[in-house]
Amino acid sequence: MGLFSAEKPKQYEIDGIKLVCMFCKNDSFYTRKEQLHSPTRTILNLEWTDETATCFVCSSCGYIHWFMR
């Protein structure tokens, strides 16, 4: 068992729409939560938020899909 074997990629739906990788059309993803505390937040004028973004990482190509809600 390696470091990254604990989590298995899964399929997800957002608002009834199946999540598919924009890049390679793969449909299974790893998830992770990312805290938005980078300068990017200031640039985007989102200082008033203290949001955590949900990232879906394509299990095939590694493309990261970000969702904030």
Give me the residues that bind Zn ion (CB under 5 A), please: 21, 23-24, 26, 58, 60-61, 63
User: DSSP characters for 15-30?
Assistant: TTEE---TTT----EE
> Contact 7/55 with Cβ under 8 angstroms?
no
Q: Give the residue with the Cβ less far from Zn ion, 26 or 34.
A: 26
Distance of closest approach, residue 56 Cβ to Zn ion, in angstroms: 10
Distance of closest approach, residue 23 Cβ to Zn ion, in angstroms: 5
Q: Give the residue with the Cβ less far from Zn ion, 31 or 41.
A: 31
What phi, psi does 42 have (nearest 5°)? -70, -45
